[in-house]
Chains A and B, each alone.
Chain A
Amino acid sequence: MVSSFFSDILLHPLGIYVLALGAGFLIPLFDRAHRGSAVLVFFAALAGMVAIAGLNLLAIVNGAPSIDIETAGIAPPFSINLRFGLLEGGFVLAVNTAALLAAWHCLPALRQHASALLLFLIMVMGINGMIMTRDLFNLFIFIEITSIATYALIGMERTGSVLAAGFKYIIATSVATTFFLLGTIFIYYQVGTLNIDDIIVHADLIQGPIGFIATLFVLTSLLIELKPYPANGWGLDVYETAHSGIASLISVGVSAGVFFAIYKVLPLMDSYLTSIAFIGGATFLVSNIIGLKQDNARRLLGYSSIGQMGLLTLALALLLQLEASSQLVLVVGGLFINHMLAKAGLFWLAGIIDRSQLKDWCAIAQRPGLLLLLGIMMAALIGLPPFPGFWAKWQLVMILAEGGQYLWIAVVLIGSLLEAAYLFRWFSHARGTDNNSMGDSSTDEVPPQAVVSLAQQLPVAIATLLLFVIGYVMALAMNIETPGMFLPLLAGFALWLIDGIRGRLKALAMLLVVGAGGYWLTNDLDGINRLFSYLLVGGGLLVSIAVMYRNDDRRGFYPLLAVLLLSLAVLLRAKTSLEFFFGWELMTLSSYLLVTLGRNGVKPALNYLLFSLASAYFILAGFALAYAASGSLLLSDLGNSGDSIGLIFSLLAIGFVIKMGGFGVHIWLPGAYAEADDDFTALLSAVVSKAGIFGLVLIAANLGVQSDIGLDPTYVLGWIGILTATFGALMAVFQEDIKRMVAYSSMGQLGYIVTGIALMSHLGWVSALYMTVNHFLFKGILFLSIAGIVLRTNERMMYKMGGLIKNMPFTFVFTMIAIIAMSGVPPLTGFGGKWMLFNALMDKGWYFIAAFAFFSSAVAFLYMFRLLQTVFLGQRKLEHAQLREAPAILLAPQFIMIAAIMVISAYPRLLLDPLSAAIDPWISNTLVWEGFALQTQYGYWNAPMIMAVVGGVWMVPLIILLLVSLTMKIQKVEQFNIVYAAERPHRPEDTHFAYNFFAHYDRAIGFLVRPRATAFWNAAVEWSHTLASSLRVFYNGNGQTYALFILMYFVAMVLFNGGLGS
């Protein structure tokens, strides 16, 4: 009896209203006794509302029928009824949970007034009603209840700006609901019922000008409640000024209610779907453009909120238009829950930290926990994995591609990119862009840090947890291989737990975890994937050994590194494009965060992230088109894409080329490489950049060869590659900063590989893969050497070094060998790559590309020599006299790589045979071996013999000179023992020729490398800011104007949809 009372009465969805209203009566009563007890009642009621929603939803998920609440003892349509089905349940549970967390967040403010507690409950109940009611007029009532409660809660803080914002809010919503009421009346006039289900059944009765006006009024007023651009200035003011808890509830709760109301009446609005999509898309795009210019954190969140609701509206309208309503739960539900948790979390964070200007957010630069929460919220919001938004956005783009809605795909992706731009600009401020405790600016004061208690962080932390959990559930729904794909995150989490222990121990743990995880993920791969697994996972581990040269705390470094390296393994393991994209985005996010850990890494990291995301979106678009064309997500089915194969290849190739720093889109590369931690730069260049190569090989193999369509894009790609090589080399020549120089060099060297892949021939691919391995070896050595140099000298400018050969002989020899291997001078590995590439280019008839390859490899000599000369040779600075050799742990991996270079140089066949075997399934083998000599149509290359001859001709003069040295007196001389300009110099600064080393070259052809690409992208930023300024002229802060806009919005909607004539 008692139990049935609980289950039937109290736990019935109606209990939500009972609890809210009941508590509404009890709160003033208890408040008389004690404010604390009133708060207790308040929380009990909220928790009960969550529990009821949760339990009922669980039952429905497990197969129970949806629950209808009837009133007045009469069946609908003659009475008002409420429904609690799957969708309603999901929304109600989400809203109530958010409300509970928001209540916890703004408890200090709420408990000031007992009425605030009461109003809060009423507001939540109103939202619940908006979701559940099936009666049009009742919907109006609940909207009004919610509006009034919200208005009152906004006014909880009695400052001028809040009250003004609240006034604008109530004016705006009143105007909107008035029209809603008018629309309802018209509908009732025509259909004779207010029950929504009944109206839908008799939708054919809604006709003529009255029907048109009726539906349009209902729809438009609901849309207005979602704050569409430009009639949304009132909403922005509220988001900016209201208490963060209330703002969060307006953003996620009220919006959810209105959104669900739109969903309910949409069956009546078939003819308006295009308008709705347009309104949603425009709002999403424009809000995110304007957000770029915003410096106020709360207002920024406002733009983001409005934008996200626009995206939801867009998705809803398009899905219905494309008759994909079976995907509504996944797409709209996923986007909604993602927006709700992340946006609410951000509002709460904004409330806790309480800094209005973005630049003041460096107040949490020293608070890793808060930074982590902030970063997770933002990552979730822009749809990075593993959060719900990622899966939902993927699915949305796939459906849009299937429906041929390419323009909308572009809108969704561009809007997401813009949102990422301003959100992560904010994150950059929080990371502390300008001041850095590790940098030279030791005189700068660390700004006062925000003081936040754990209790305050609790709601945000719970939201974070929910994001992960729901993300995981969605991953299961998307048939992702689990737990394999989640291993990077698990490993990262495990290492984060032990992040408090000492530096080297953490590094060791990281190596073990990555080693075991990497092995587990990649040991059953074969073909090209297996080859790349050696390079990315094995090579990654090898270079990572060097991270142990630092023993400092490096908070966050090791967990993120584990995520990065294992996400590379996930990339290799991916069978479907979704898994690939998942690994790709995981890699993007983790490497971005790792770059921010560098000394001045925050700003370059933002560039890196934005270009990486742009790259990811091109890849996403490419995959979506492939899915639309082939109907399959399998990577091996990419080739079945029919006519659109050229376009798909182009989109994917653009994505990968951006990630590799291709010509024109390279500007993120030098900054990110230079400012990342020195050991991480080695990983970025030697290992992470290979992910782009893997992607290119993957699509070239699956798209280019399987189909017999001649791909013109490959010729363009060949040119892009070689121009990247040429300009990378030219720009490297003029750098003073050693890391920037080698970064440009990295860009250039990858260019050759792109060209090799673009050749689409066996020899071309072998050369590309060979150069990939070689690039891994020499760039790993170079950047690790540089790490040692920077460690010892604490300098990056090459002209401030010099003569280090005396102090760091091993580093010098390793660098020299790496540079010879890079330059292509025989007998080391570089020659083989150049030789094969040249042969393949001649074979293909790409003669001018071959000429550029010649030229760029000649230019490369300039910077290679400069590096050795200005750092290791010439005059040593006096203060560097006592420097020691780089630590052994840095030299050890270099030594292993040197050994590999030597072996491959003498016996390239050891490497070429497996490379060729991996390519054979795609293109038949064309390598002709005669013993150890490789022959092509044009020439021949006998590496062991070359090695022997060079060794011989080198040893003979050496022996002669040694013999001569025995007979004559060779005197070792000290520094400055030269005569220069008629005197014996004594200051290295005057004598070391290093600064502006190639001034004459600059005078001759420096005009080629003036930073045009940078200028272009800066101009692009400038234009978008100008655009943002002109788009926000509507926001003049005047309530009357805002009300006018709303009226005009109705007029515009009428005109847009054909006016009264239809």
Chain B
Amino acid sequence: MIAEWIGKIGNFTLTLLIVTAYGLFMTAFIERIIAKVQGRIGIPYWQPVINILKNFFKRTAVSHGYMFYLGPVFRIAGGIGTLAFIPVIYGSETFSNFSMAGDLFLVIYFMFFGQLGMALGAGESGHPYSAIGIARGLSQMTAYEVPFALAVISIVIQYDTLSITEIVAAQQGGWENWTVFTNWVATLAAMLAFLGMTGYSPFDIFLAPQEIPIGPPTEFHSAYLSFMSLNRALFGATKLVLFMNLFFGGATGLLELMIKTWLIYMVAIVIGVSFPRFRVDQAIRFFFKIPTLIGIMSIVYAQMMLTS
């Protein structure tokens, strides 16, 4: 029993390291692509790692209180935990993590864990920009959750299971079995929601990264900030893995995983560099219109076409 757990923890640590490293690499990679689009050279590949290490070893820090102190801990625990509940590579015991603890529903709800904790930490700093950013981010979240939830319900109808492993299993045996081809309506709704989830333009106002920094990072610095940047890479990669599992057939090897997740990410990037930013109320209304309609259609589609 204990040996089993130690083995699992060891395996998970390995997964964690790989996904984090990949996430960091991809952050830089994407930054470079964006830079190229905008006619710049961009950052070196190791820049995200340097940033994290630099921040981590800063000699001084301030604290606004114990919740502020715990905020980044909650944040990264949320990222790690989400990854822990997702099987990363299909058919691999090593990369199955702790997905036996719960199903897709657990993953979706656990995503909030880190966000809520970090939001509370940021709140204690007393900086209004933190609170404003969080208020906007949460509002936007309620909106993109709707098409996402509809898409998830649609694929649960389709596969008759909430287990991520089984959803991936059902998509094996050729690209034509991937959800994106069998249930393209749900995939479309989910990918629209994905745009909101990743927080790139046009849905990036809650962070407003280009001008005034708002949102949770406003007051965080030094080791706190390094935790948060680390999580941003990790959590971003985790969400990609989830989308890959649900809609793009999962991955049977690391290379397949990297290619697929990179391609999924590129959707958000291409749209991000092409479209200007929505105001938050516009973003909310956007999600409640076409994406929600598509989501509703996906359920009808699944009910009529995909159930035996």
CA distance A940 to B296 in the complex (A): 26
- Indicate if the CB atoms of A991 and B126 lie closer than 8 Å: yes
CA distance A865 to B119 in the complex (A): 8
If A851-B299, A858-B145, A942-B102 touch, whether A961 touches B72 (CB-CB below 8 Å) is yes
Option from A945, A964, A978, A998 in Cβ contact (under 8 Å) with B223 = A964
Q: Which residue of A lies closest to B100 (CB)?
A: A942
- Indicate if the CB atoms of A970 and B62 lie closer than 8 Å: yes
Give the segment of A1-9, A452-460, A820-828 that binds chain B.
Answer: A820-828
Contacting residues of chain A (854-882) with chain B, CB-CB under 8 angstroms: 854-855, 858-859, 861-862, 865-866, 868-869, 872-875
A970 partner residues in chain B, CB cutoff 8 A: 60-63
A1053 to chain B minimum Cβ distance, whole angstroms, is 61
Option from B64, B146, B161, B296 in Cβ contact (under 8 Å) with A854 = B146
A842 at the interface (CB under 8 A from B): yes
Option from A873, A874, A946, A975 in Cβ contact (under 8 Å) with B106 = A946
Give the segment of B24-32, B174-182, B266-274, B281-289 that binds chain A.
Answer: B281-289
- Indicate if the CB atoms of B106 and A826 lie closer than 8 Å: yes
- Indicate if the CB atoms of A950 and B81 lie closer than 8 Å: yes
A573 partner residues in chain B, CB cutoff 8 A: none
Q: Which residue of A lies closest to B206 (CB)?
A: A1000
- Indicate if the CB atoms of B141 and A861 lie closer than 8 Å: yes
- Indicate if the CB atoms of A972 and B131 lie closer than 8 Å: no
- Indicate if the CB atoms of A938 and B160 lie closer than 8 Å: yes
B84 partner residues in chain A, CB cutoff 8 A: 949, 953
Option from B76, B98, B161 in Cβ contact (under 8 Å) with A938 = B161
A976 at the interface (CB under 8 A from B): yes
A834 at the interface (CB under 8 A from B): yes
User: What sequence of 0s and 1s flags, for each residue 824-864 of chain A, a beta carbon within 8 Å of any chain B beta carbon?
Assistant: 11100001001100110010000110110011001101100
- Indicate if the CB atoms of A854 and B149 lie closer than 8 Å: yes
- Indicate if the CB atoms of A998 and B126 lie closer than 8 Å: no
- Indicate if the CB atoms of A968 and B60 lie closer than 8 Å: yes
- Indicate if the CB atoms of B65 and A957 lie closer than 8 Å: no
CA distance A858 to B85 in the complex (A): 20
- Indicate if the CB atoms of A973 and B64 lie closer than 8 Å: yes
B232 at the interface (CB under 8 A from A): no
Q: Which residue of B lies closest to A860 (CB)?
A: B142
A167 at the interface (CB under 8 A from B): no
A993 at the interface (CB under 8 A from B): yes
Contacting residues of chain B (117-139) with chain A, CB-CB under 8 angstroms: 119-120, 123-129, 131-132, 134-136, 138-139
If A826-B110, A938-B162 touch, whether A1004 touches B119 (CB-CB below 8 Å) is no
CA distance A639 to B69 in the complex (A): 58
Q: Which residue of B lies closest to A971 (CB)?
A: B62
User: What sequence of 0s and 1s flags, for each residue 87-123 of chain B, a beta carbon within 8 Å of any chain A beta carbon?
Assistant: 0000000000010111111100110110010011001
Option from B76, B77, B126, B163 in Cβ contact (under 8 Å) with A940 = B163
- Indicate if the CB atoms of A825 and B116 lie closer than 8 Å: yes
B142 partner residues in chain A, CB cutoff 8 A: 855, 858-859, 861-862, 1001
A980 partner residues in chain B, CB cutoff 8 A: 127-129
User: What sequence of 0s and 1s flags, for each residue 71-87 of chain B, a beta carbon within 8 Å of any chain A beta carbon?
Assistant: 01110110011001100
B102 partner residues in chain A, CB cutoff 8 A: 826, 835, 939-942, 945-946
B157 at the interface (CB under 8 A from A): yes
- Indicate if the CB atoms of A805 and B65 lie closer than 8 Å: yes
- Indicate if the CB atoms of A1001 and B132 lie closer than 8 Å: no
B160 to chain A minimum Cβ distance, whole angstroms, is 7
If A848-B299, A978-B219 touch, whether A816 touches B106 (CB-CB below 8 Å) is no
A1003 at the interface (CB under 8 A from B): yes
Q: Which residue of A lies closest to B80 (CB)?
A: A953
CA distance A1061 to B252 in the complex (A): 97
A831 partner residues in chain B, CB cutoff 8 A: 106, 109
Q: Which residue of A lies closest to B151 (CB)?
A: A851
If A848-B299, A1004-B284 touch, whether A940 touches B135 (CB-CB below 8 Å) is no
A374 to chain B minimum Cβ distance, whole angstroms, is 48
Q: Which residue of B lies closest to A940 (CB)?
A: B103
B255 to chain A minimum Cβ distance, whole angstroms, is 27
- Indicate if the CB atoms of A862 and B138 lie closer than 8 Å: yes
- Indicate if the CB atoms of A958 and B64 lie closer than 8 Å: no
CA distance A296 to B143 in the complex (A): 53
B297 partner residues in chain A, CB cutoff 8 A: none
Interface size on A, residues (CB 8 A): 77
B227 at the interface (CB under 8 A from A): yes
Option from A861, A862, A968 in Cβ contact (under 8 Å) with B222 = A968
CA distance A1042 to B83 in the complex (A): 85
- Indicate if the CB atoms of B284 and A868 lie closer than 8 Å: no
If A838-B105, A874-B123, A992-B128 touch, whether A1004 touches B60 (CB-CB below 8 Å) is no
Interface size on B, residues (CB 8 A): 82
B223 partner residues in chain A, CB cutoff 8 A: 961, 964-965, 968
A1005 at the interface (CB under 8 A from B): yes
Contacting residues of chain B (18-68) with chain A, CB-CB under 8 angstroms: 56, 58-67
B97 to chain A minimum Cβ distance, whole angstroms, is 9
B264 at the interface (CB under 8 A from A): no
B161 partner residues in chain A, CB cutoff 8 A: 938-939
A939 partner residues in chain B, CB cutoff 8 A: 102-105, 161-163
A954 partner residues in chain B, CB cutoff 8 A: 73-74, 77, 81
A949 partner residues in chain B, CB cutoff 8 A: 81, 84-85, 98, 101
B113 partner residues in chain A, CB cutoff 8 A: 825-826, 950
CA distance A839 to B104 in the complex (A): 11
- Indicate if the CB atoms of B153 and A969 lie closer than 8 Å: no
Q: Which residue of A lies closest to B110 (CB)?
A: A826
A866 partner residues in chain B, CB cutoff 8 A: 135
- Indicate if the CB atoms of B56 and A969 lie closer than 8 Å: no
A964 partner residues in chain B, CB cutoff 8 A: 56, 223
CA distance A831 to B150 in the complex (A): 19
B284 partner residues in chain A, CB cutoff 8 A: 1000-1001, 1004-1005
- Indicate if the CB atoms of B136 and A1000 lie closer than 8 Å: yes
Option from B9, B56, B131, B281 in Cβ contact (under 8 Å) with A874 = B131
A625 to chain B minimum Cβ distance, whole angstroms, is 37
Contacting residues of chain A (993-1035) with chain B, CB-CB under 8 angstroms: 993-994, 997-998, 1000-1001, 1003-1005
Option from B72, B157, B281 in Cβ contact (under 8 Å) with A957 = B72
A884 at the interface (CB under 8 A from B): no
B34 to chain A minimum Cβ distance, whole angstroms, is 27
B280 at the interface (CB under 8 A from A): yes
User: What sequence of 0s and 1s flags, for each residue 349-369 of chain A, a beta carbon within 8 Å of any chain B beta carbon?
Assistant: 000000000000000000000
A937 partner residues in chain B, CB cutoff 8 A: 160
Q: List 29 A-B contacts (CB under 8 A).
A: A812-B67, A825-B116, A831-B106, A839-B105, A850-B149, A851-B150, A862-B142, A869-B120, A874-B123, A874-B131, A937-B160, A938-B156, A939-B102, A939-B104, A942-B102, A945-B101, A946-B85, A953-B84, A965-B223, A968-B223, A973-B64, A976-B126, A978-B125, A993-B135, A994-B131, A997-B131, A1000-B279, A1000-B281, A1004-B281
List of 10 A-B pairs having minimum Cβ-Cβ separation, nearest first:
A939-B162, A873-B123, A939-B103, A854-B149, A1004-B284, A1004-B281, A993-B128, A945-B101, A954-B77, A993-B131
Residue positions of A touching B, CB distance < 8 A: 803, 805-806, 809, 812, 816, 820, 823-826, 831, 834-835, 838-839, 842, 847-848, 850-851, 854-855, 858-859, 861-862, 865-866, 868-869, 872-875, 933, 937-942, 945-946, 949-950, 952-954, 956-958, 961, 964-965, 968-973, 975-978, 980, 991-994, 997-998, 1000-1001, 1003-1005
Residue positions of B touching A, CB distance < 8 A: 9, 56, 58-67, 69-70, 72-74, 76-77, 80-81, 84-85, 98, 100-106, 109-110, 112-113, 116, 119-120, 123-129, 131-132, 134-136, 138-139, 141-143, 145-146, 149-150, 153, 156-157, 160-163, 219, 222-224, 227, 279-282, 284-285, 288, 295-296, 299, 303
Besides A940-B162, A1005-B285, 19 other CB < 8 A contacts? Answer: A825-B112, A850-B153, A851-B146, A851-B149, A851-B150, A851-B299, A859-B142, A862-B135, A865-B138, A869-B123, A946-B85, A953-B84, A958-B73, A968-B58, A968-B222, A970-B60, A971-B61, A973-B64, A1001-B135
